[in-house]
């Protein structure tokens, strides 16, 4: 199946609060003005995901104005390594709680379009392991409101309402042009492209950036291969 033949899906997303912070502002969080491609992809994965499926977000439309608000949140300062085990590998929240400031978004609404492709690195399991089968499953789950876990907007406490977009009820995005500059696109993991793979404590996760420009409320998201090439060219 060629790139032009890949099935495309559009969802409507709403939420009371959202925070899409860059890796550089992980302590005092400052949200990007709209959802990042990786966070948008995670919304599709929350509805339906298999190791053979890769979602490529191609279009983000802002359906509500950009509104910021400042909050102070309780967070845990420490982390436990994924391979830790034993009675002493624990965090006591009362002792490790920290108050941090965050500049987040409120009353967000997006229309997100993504393509579905198959991961060639994973062998097919049977003749029905194809786009058609997975397309029907995703559409069915979106229509029924089924999810593997609650979709969220940057942080797990910021729940997202995800629905299949209705082409018969078109709505226009906001009339806004915005040059965001560089925005987080995704992360490159040492083990390669994948999901939920354990990394060692010495492994370094590398952020991937792209030039994010909004035109009339629409952000065109380039393919991952193009973003990788540009990052290498500019040593990002």
**Is residue 185 in some structural domain?**
no
**Is residue 158 in some structural domain?**
yes
What is the per-residue pLDDT for 84?
52
For the whole model, what pTM was predicted?
0.83
Reading the block at residue 174, the tokens are: 């906001």
What is the per-residue pLDDT for 4?
45
**Is residue 201 in some structural domain?**
no
Beta-carbon-side half-sphere exposure of residue 167 (alpha carbons within 13 Å):
4
What is the per-residue pLDDT for 99?
75
Residues 6+ apart with CB under 8 A from 81: 89, 201
**Is residue 85 in some structural domain?**
no
What is the per-residue pLDDT for 79?
59
Q: How far is CA 179 from CA 38, 112, 136, 182, 212, in A?
A: 19, 19, 37, 9, 7
What is the per-residue pLDDT for 23?
80
CA–CA gap between residue 168 and residue 174 (Å, rounded):
19
CA–CA gap between residue 59 and residue 136 (Å, rounded):
21
In CATH, what number is assigned to the domain containing residue 131?
3.30.70.2660
**Is residue 116 in some structural domain?**
yes
CA–CA gap between residue 120 and residue 153 (Å, rounded):
29
What is the per-residue pLDDT for 200?
47
What is the per-residue pLDDT for 194?
47
**Is residue 197 in some structural domain?**
no
**Is residue 157 in some structural domain?**
yes
Residues 6+ apart with CB under 8 A from 10: 111, 112, 113, 164, 165, 167
What is the per-residue pLDDT for 22?
84
The mean pLDDT values, 10 residues at a time, for the chain of 236 residues are 69 97 78 97 95 94 96 67 56 63 95 93 78 91 94 95 91 95 88 48 76 97 92 80
Does residue 19 sit in helix, strand or coil? coil
Number of domains into which the chain is organized:
1
**Residue-range definition of the domain harbouring residue 32:** 3-79+92-179
Degrees (nearest 5) of the Cα angle 173, 136, 196?
80
**Is residue 97 in some structural domain?**
yes
């Amino acid at each position: 199946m060629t790139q032009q033949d890949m099935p495309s899906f559009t969802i409507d997303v709403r939420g009371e609060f959202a925070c899409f912070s860059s890796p550089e502002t992980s302590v005092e969080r400052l949200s990007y003005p709209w959802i990042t491609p990786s966070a948008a992809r995670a919304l599709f994965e929350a509805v339906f995901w298999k190791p053979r499926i890769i979602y490529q977000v191609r279009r983000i439309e802002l359906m509500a104005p950009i509104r910021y608000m400042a909050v102070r949140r309780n967070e845990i300062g420490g982390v436990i390594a994924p391979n830790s085990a034993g009675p002493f590998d624990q965090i006591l929240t009362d002792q490790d709680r920290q108050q941090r400031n965050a500049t987040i978004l409120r009353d967000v609404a997006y229309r997100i379009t993504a393509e579905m492709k198959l991961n060639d690195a994973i062998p097919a399991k049977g003749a029905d392991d194809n786009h058609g089968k997975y397309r029907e499953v995703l559409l069915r789950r979106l229509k029924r409101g089924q999810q593997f876990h609650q979709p969220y907007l940057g942080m797990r406490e910021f729940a997202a309402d995800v629905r299949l977009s209705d082409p018969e009820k078109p709505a226009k995005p906001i009339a806004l042009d915005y040059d965001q500059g560089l925005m987080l696109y995704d992360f490159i993991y040492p083990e390669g492209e994948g999901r939920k793979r354990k990394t060692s404590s010495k492994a370094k996760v590398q952020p991937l950036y792209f030039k994010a420009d909004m035109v009339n409320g629409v952000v065109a998201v380039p393919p991952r291969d193009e973003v990788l090439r540009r990052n290498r060219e500019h040593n990002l």
